[in-house]
Amino acid sequence: MNKSKDRIIMISFLLIVSATSLFLILFALRDNVIFFYSPSEVQKKFYNNEINNESLVRLGGLVLDKSLHRDKEGNIYFIITDLKKEINVLFSGILPDLFREGQGVIAQGYVEKYNLKDDNDLLENNLRLRASSVLAKHDENYMPPEVLDILEGVSTNDG
């Protein structure tokens, strides 16, 4: 009986230590988790106070056609849409090579509500994402230009 009691105690101890370790790891990582939202979700969560000006979010969707422009200071303004709702985006920096209107994009930054409409914002709503980074997405049919040039060169030499 002593051996089986010792095993039960040892197994219980290991389970408690494992559960505690897992809890501590998840607790430590909670600030590093950044959620990915669509414009509809951001607007809903912002107005329900689930996210605020302090919340770092990733906003994903399509760059709305004819919404991309730059101001004199080099700031880049565009609109991200999920085809239901749109959000203004302000970005200062270098855009990725794949970035263009109508293309999928993920912008990471802080959502802000402002009272005075900026002349560069195209939308009437007063929510804007102040992006710190922008990632362009591409579909599975994407092929780097260098590879495309090589393939075109091979196909013209075959014929």
DSSP states along the chain: -HHHHHHHHHHHHHHHHHHHHHHHHHHHHGGG---EE-HHHHHHHHHTTSS-TT-EEEEEEEEPTT--EE-TTS-EEEEEE-SS-EEEEEE-SPPPTT--TTSEEEEEEEEEE-SSPPTT--SSSSEEEEEEEEEE---TT---HHHHHHHHHHHHHH-
Q: What is the pLDDT of residue 142?
A: 58
In the numeric block, which tokens belong to residue 149? 């040039």
pLDDT for res 123: 58
* Surface-to-core class of residue 88, CB atoms within 10 Å of its CB (0-12 exposed, 13-18 middle, 19+ buried): buried
pLDDT digits (tens, 9 = 90+) for 54-82: 788 888 888 889 889 988 888 999 999 88
Residues 6+ away with beta carbon under 8 Å from 121: 77, 88, 128
pTM above 0.85, yes or no: no
Q: For residue 34, what pLDDT is reported?
A: 66
Angle at the Cα of 44 from the Cα atoms of 38 and 45, rounded to 5 degrees: 85
Provide CATH code, domain 34-136: 2.40.50.140
**Residue 103 belongs to what H/E stretch?**
none
Eight-state DSSP code of residue 31: G
- pLDDT, residue 10, reads 93
Reading the block at residue 118, the tokens are: 């900026």
Quote the pLDDT of residue 11.
Answer: 93
- Within the chain, which residues score under 50 in pLDDT? 154-155, 158-159
